[in-house]
Amino acid sequence: MKVLVVGANGQIGKHVVSFIKDSNNLEAKAMIRKQGQASLLEDLGAETVLVDLEEDDIDTIAKAAQGVDAIVFTAGSGPHTGPDKTMLIDLDGAVKTIEAAKVAGVKRFVMVSSFDTTREAIQAAPESFAPYVVAKHYADVWLRSTDLDYTIVHPGGLTNDKGTGQVQAASEVERGKVPREDIASVIVGCLENESTIGKEFQVVTGTTPIQEAIKSI
């Protein structure tokens, strides 16, 4: 199964590509924005394709997705840019990727969302965080409205700690932290488990081995 990783050079993305390399039946196509990001990802065994998620259109993304079997969306504008990029990457970049999946005929789609993207979470969010929640809310709503084979992963507070390999995952879990490395492992686990199709769940660090947690979703 060939997987287009959108945001492959991101902090979760690199782990995803790395786990795909270690898997038996997956191979990665890393979608990146700059040529300078290619060598690292090629060293991790991935084919690379250059696309600017902000500047490029749906057809360009669809071309990158041509011939893959699944798409993972783990791109994000990051904490060092403003809400203008949140609008253009986290919302519109996600929707363009979803539409590109349709154009390219790629059914399987794994979305890395935010912990809580409900309407209630928008209203409850601190002012500085609210635009991000709005963006992720509408991206999730858009994906749910498609007939793609989607899974939406809602991670807790992301850390750069080493993965523990153990999580708590369910439709609703108590808010907590989780290493990016474990989220990458969860994403790859979703790709390997068709039982996660049409589902979404929150994930934080826990006591259940990731494979087991995914099978219980």
131 binds a copy of itself (CB under 8 A): yes
Contacts (CB under 8 A) with a copy of itself, residues 139-198: none
In the structure encoding, which two tokens stand for residue 112, read together?
A: 């890395």
52 touches a copy of itself (CB under 8 A): no
Instruction: Give the alpha-carbon dihedral of 133, 134, 140, 142, to 10 degrees.
Output: -170
Single out the residue of 130, 146, 165, 208 in contact with a copy of itself (rule: CB under 8 A).
130
- CA–CA distance, 36 with 67 (Å, rounded to integer): 24
In this chain, which of 115, 138, 150, 201 binds a copy of itself, going by CB under 8 A? 138
Binders of a copy of itself: how many residues, by CB under 8 A?
Answer: 22
Q: Three-state SS for 217?
A: coil
Q: Which parts of 69-128 interact with a copy of itself (CB under 8 A)?
A: 82-84, 86-88, 91-92, 119, 122-123, 127-128
Residues 213, 217: Cα–Cα separation, whole Å: 7
Integer Cα distance of 50 and 6 in angstroms: 10
Q: Is 138 a catalytic residue?
A: no
Among 19, 115, 132, 138, the one annotated catalytic: 132
Classify each residue of 157-185 as buried b or exposed e, where b means 16 or more C-beta atoms within 10 Å of its C-beta: ebeeeebbeebbbeeebeeeebbbbbbbb
Query: Closer to a copy of itself at the Cβ: 100 or 152?
Result: 100
Residues identified as active-site: 132
Judged by the rule CB under 8 A, the positions of this chain that interact with a copy of itself are 55, 57-58, 82-84, 86-88, 91-92, 119, 122-123, 127-128, 130-131, 134-135, 137-138
